[in-house]
Amino acid sequence: MKLRDAIEHYVAWRQAHGVKFVTARNLLRQFLQHADGDAGCDAVTCAQVQAFLAGTGPVTRHRENKNYALAGFWRYAISRGYALSSPLPESERRPPLQAPPHIYSRDQLQRLFDPDHIDNALQGSRQLDSATFRTLLLMLYGAGLRFGEATALTLSDVDTAEAILTIRDTKFQKSRLVPVGPQLAGILDTHLSVRPVNGVAESATSFLLANRDGTRLSSSTVQTAFDRLRRVADVHGRAGGRENPRLHDLRHSFAVHRLMAWYRQGADVQRLLPALSTYLGHSDLEGTKVYLTMTPNLLAQASLRFARYAGGGSDARP
Q: What positions carry a catalytic annotation?
A: 146, 171
Rounded to the nearest 5°, which phi and psi values hold at 187?
-65, -40
| Distance (Å, whole) CA 227 – CA 252 | 18
222 close to 133: Cβ distance less than 8 angstroms: yes
Instruction: Please report how the helices 249-265 and 269-280 are oriented relative to each other, as an axis angle in degrees rounded to 10.
Output: 150
Pick from 85, 80, 73: nearest CA to 32: 73
The amino acid occupying position 174 is K
CA 108 – CA 16 distance, rounded (Å): 40
For 201, what's the count of Cα atoms within 13 Å in the CB-facing half-sphere?
1
Asked if residues 121 and 229 have their Cβ atoms less than 8 Å apart, the reply is yes
Q: Which residues, 6 or more positions from 8, have their beta carbon under 8 angstroms from its beta carbon?
A: none
